Structure 1
């Protein structure tokens, strides 16, 4: 029986086997493995002059590739030959099984090389990549958590494995990077799965969109992506990541903003490209460390108007969002209710010395600084505006 469903001979078979190499989905895990190796080199030397072990990097990349190839072969086999989900597939059922055997054998050989070069822990970090790929369909994709987190977990593990085969250990930084990838890419995966929610429901494929519905799933997706970007910035501020890593959130957030109003198919295309930009900036931040030694802008040069300037900036943001959402009356009611309570709280904490505000104008009104009155207007208004924006039902 032939391997290829369309055509005969070695050329047709090779074409059918090559069709299961999907660069769009293979690139991120492979890039994550290389990024892990780069991170290990810069961590070891503390500079961008990383010294990599090419053979260890190469065998790990081969293992990651075969794990991904196994996943694509198994998905195609299940979706076409078992579930009758796809309209066509280039491989026969026998061809899928033979290719799966060959791919698994290739992974086993690469895994053995990883263990020989970097030890059993490196093997334990690499092996789940194949298991996730092989079990994704029809086992893992029937549960919302594993259906969503399988691919992102594979990317995170590729990062950890790529680091370990170079360094022989794991650092807090690489674990933090893995968490960021897992969280942010899980959000992208939720959006991707929403493309097929109707059909997935009909075959009892339990994605997040099936379990929660498309709208709630999208809220979860963008919440996960937002959390991932926040973690990048927070880890950069904390010093765990290079300061320039915070810049990686900028292109991804910009792309995600465009994707918020797009349909699932277009949103997925945008977010995948945003993820590429995100990873590219992270690599540049780790390699070049562009903001190393660059101090934060010091707005303290404004002297007594410093606090007031921050309130003007955030107040302008609140006004913009209120104008966009039309939540003026809701904000006014909220401020009116909270203001007396906030005033008493603020007066008491200042009176007993809980905190001090040195960079202020010195103007006081009703026993507290003028800036504190403005703070009690700006913060509730900003909160209401953001609430209306993210909970817009239109």
Structure 2
């Protein structure tokens, strides 16, 4: 019995086993484990603790064997059971040997995690191996577990990396784990669309197959947006270090660049964006570069402060509407809304609901000039975001009939096969 499917000998066996180490998918869980340990090193207020390199190394080893198990089992099922893959370096016996070896390695490391980190760390580590082992063929046929398995595993890596250092959990590691769970689930939804046609042909119910390409992409970007918003919100709340949004901004730039790409290219970009997010958060947590630095004070602009913010957000709204080809439609909607907004604004200012100190003092029709602009900018910004998410990409000169028909539906796979 040989380990490698097409060769014999120790060197071939070693190459075959090494082929199941996929760095793109292996590094994030290991990095997540290290990130959890960094959180526990006392760099964030209320997370007192010391960094224990041996405990960190043992937990990283456990996560390595858990992910390795997933890779070997997935390859075994896809090639030998489902016959989905064209080739596989390990023989059937070699796959089983790899699974046994990975299991032995994982449970040996789990014993170390239990000894060094306690029962909480062990309880967080064990599910990573279970998810990896059951990924194929049990979990990868359901849209929720197929998509959520890998992100859940990375969230557990972060939590376990923290717990093995401290013996317990705290709010900050749970929040960071939640951020990565949301962001990486969104990336995984995009990745699922890479095999959309094939998965649809074999009735494999991924998120892309169940929801369709467009709705699944909107869901993906919604999840990624939720994760990035959480970074900002938790920073404002004081749970995350002040520099944390920088990592979120780096990922957001990559996400924008990936928005119009095909699923394969978009996935490649977003995975690298996730690395930037993690790197930014590690720097923010470990070095705390903006600690003690006050927020920029835009009130230095004096009476032009309010006006300046409207110029910034108005420009952003115009850019979004221009990109979506919806400037004319947006102006029509804003014009229809304006009279109601004007009366509402005039009344609330008149009865003293709020005051606007940082303004030019110029008034028009009984209300400040800035409020007139506000009633244009805010709905335009909302419409710009709406059109970016839900617009069909057709130019404004398209006929009403074309817009009512909407984009051409995706062809039914069964009909295409019948015609062929």
Q: TM-score, normalised by structure 1?
A: 0.96
Partners of 1:278 and 1:147 in 2: CA distance: 23
Q: Does 1:346 align with 2:345?
A: yes
Q: Does 1:19 align with 2:19?
A: yes
* Structure 2 partner of 1:184: 183
- Please identify, of 66-75 and 161-170, the stretch whose mean Cα deviation from structure 2 is larger: 161-170
Partners of 1:195 and 1:83 in 2: CA distance: 18
Partners of 2:247 and 2:9 in 1: CA distance: 47
Partners of 1:22 and 1:72 in 2: CA distance: 8
Deviation for aligned residue 1:202? 2.6
Deviation for aligned residue 1:353? 2.5
Secondary structure at the counterpart of residue 139 of structure 1: helix
Deviation for aligned residue 1:197? 1.2
Deviation for aligned residue 1:322? 2.9
* Structure 1 partner of 2:396: none
* Structure 2 partner of 1:10: 10
The count of aligned residue pairs is 393
* Structure 1 partner of 2:75: 76
Secondary structure at the counterpart of residue 150 of structure 2: helix
Q: Does 1:298 align with 2:288?
A: no
Partners of 2:231 and 2:305 in 1: CA distance: 27
Partners of 2:62 and 2:322 in 1: CA distance: 53
Deviation for aligned residue 1:348? 2.4
Instruction: Please say if residues 115 and 123 of structure 1, whose CA atoms lie closer than 8 Å, have aligned partners that are also in contact.
Output: yes
Partners of 1:198 and 1:321 in 2: CA distance: 31
* Structure 2 partner of 1:372: 371
* Structure 1 unpaired stretches of 5+: none
* Structure 2 unpaired stretches of 5+: 394-420
CA-to-aligned-CA distance 1:102-143 (integer Å, 9 cap, x gap): 111111111111111111111111111001101111111111
Counterparts of 1:1-394 in structure 2, within 5 Å, are: 1-43=1-43, 51-394=50-393
Judging changes above 3 Å, is the alpha-carbon distance between structure 1 residues 11 and 103 closer, same or farther for their aligned structure 2 residues?
same
Deviation for aligned residue 1:374? 1.0
Judging changes above 3 Å, is the alpha-carbon distance between structure 1 residues 352 and 168 closer, same or farther for their aligned structure 2 residues?
farther
Partners of 1:118 and 1:212 in 2: CA distance: 42
Instruction: Please say if residues 49 and 166 of structure 2, whose CA atoms lie closer than 8 Å, have aligned partners that are also in contact.
Output: no
Instruction: Please say if residues 44 and 241 of structure 2, whose CA atoms lie closer than 8 Å, have aligned partners that are also in contact.
Output: no
